Amino acid sequence: MLSSSRVAMHAKAQCAAAAAPRCAAPSRCASVTAAASMAPTVAAAASPVALPSRKSSARAPRVVGGARRAGASIRRAVSVTASADAKPFLKRTCRLVLEDGSCWQGFSFGATGTEVGEVVFNTALTGYEEIMSDPSYKGQFVAFTCPHIGNVGINTEDNESSKCHLGAIIIKDLSKSVSNYRSRMDLDKYCKEQGVLGIWGVDTRGLTRVLRDYGSLVGVVTTDMSKSVDELVKQAKGWSIEGKDLLSVVSCKEPYEWAKGTTAEWEFAPYAKGSSKEPFHVVAYDYGIKYNILRRLASYGCRVTVVPATYPADEVMKLQPDGIFFSNGPGDPSAAPYAVDNAKALLGKKPVFGICMGHQILGQAFGAKTFKLKFGHHGGNHPIRYNPTGRVEISAQNHNFAVETSSLPAGVEVTHINLNDGTCAGMVWADKKAMTIQYHPESSPGPHDADVCFQQFIDMMKAERGMKAVAA
């Protein structure tokens, strides 16, 4: 097996060899050339002999002059053009250049131009549309480890926000055909509409090994082949996602109401009713909230008011919520002190629940610190242990930062642990009526193991009303 350093060195060498066309099937090219030079019956005649139609009843003319005996088969001179295109293979039209100097050549699809962002890999086998439309990927490029992307096209129901926020997607094979009854367009057209750069033909396995071993790297994806690798490396080195507040960038600008739950066709949770005589009013901070989070809250009987990331805590309390939700979102949690201040002001007043970025914002409000993971957690197959019962959940995850457990104050219980690296995946501070989850219980895409977290939040609000809890 090649080491990650040798994989990166190979990628660097690709740019140097870009001018020389590569043959994807050299044996095929060789056989065509050999056939053209060795076939004895091929004549390069200027005017080929016309062959009689199969439908014609006329016999072929007999050869005279003793060249052939009567009844012998007639050999016809047929000109065959044994042509081979001078450039029979696709020209590479797009590059991914990483800050370590490696260059990954590929083919462009979707939008054209140049984008810079942090490159992460996602191990999910399904749900590329949901991943692309997740606002938490703002400022990032996603390299899919699943080799075939685009095979089910794009539909109008599975988007997780109103637009794509990521800068580019990096894939091995772009499906040439689309096969799904819900599809409305192919991936290439969708990326063009959304302004997302796509590059296919990349060795995503090799790229993933580099990111896994050396950590997430900033990269530049460009269709401008005139730019030198050195220029692109300099551009990558001049950008970082750390210290960037992206919550206010992707958040809504004005409050709005959400009441649409999961449709009956897709509902799977036994406790989700979709309605209630006395629905709980949840105010949700939008740091880049996914539609399916809102659907799950509504399915569990909540009336949801979504507010911008910067919405003041006192204005939230004026809305008279039964509970307050802190959503997922992109970027560095330490770069949004206004969000932490609002969370501090709301702790203990009403039941609160945070997912992903919300988990990190509440962690800081508790008094803890956050830190950047080596390559983050991105995928639909991460195992989580729920400490109170020992239950193991397979979870969907998408984050690059984590809460430092050693900095948590007394009274905060770490309820969930990521079994891959031991990081904090969930907390409860009972005295402050707060619970958090680092991953995505709403899935979309991913397994439904953790959907019970929504029922636990409902139970916290029920307790405030003196009602009986349901979930364990």
Summarize pLDDT for 112-131 with one digit per residue, the tens.
999 999 999 999 999 999 99
- Confidence (pLDDT) at 12: 57
Q: How far apart are CA 220 and CA 199, in angstroms?
A: 11
In this prediction the pTM is 0.81
Coil/strand/helix, residue 199: strand
- Confidence (pLDDT) at 279: 87
- Confidence (pLDDT) at 42: 32
- Confidence (pLDDT) at 90: 84
- Confidence (pLDDT) at 43: 34
- Confidence (pLDDT) at 23: 35
Q: How far apart are CA 18 and CA 11, in angstroms?
A: 11
Q: Which residues of the chain have pLDDT under 50?
A: 1, 17-74, 76, 78, 80, 82, 274-275
- Confidence (pLDDT) at 410: 96
Among 356, 382, 399, 424, the one annotated catalytic: 356
Q: How far apart are CA 461 and CA 5, in angstroms?
A: 52
Could you state, in order of their start, the residue ranges of all structural domains in the chain?
94-238, 248-465
Summarize pLDDT for 89-112 with one digit per residue, the tens.
788 999 999 999 999 999 999 999
- Confidence (pLDDT) at 15: 56
Among 378, 399, 416, 440, the one annotated catalytic: 440
- Confidence (pLDDT) at 13: 54
Residue 319 neighbours by CB distance under 10 Å: 14
Active site residue 193: no
For the record, the structure tokens of 238 come out as 């001049």
Active site residue 315: no
At the topology level, CATH places domain 94-238 in: Glucose Oxidase; domain 1 (3.50.30)
Active site residue 165: no
Please name which of 73, 461, 426, 464 lies closest in space to residue 297, comparing C-alpha atoms. Answer: 461
CATH of span 248-465? 3.40.50.880
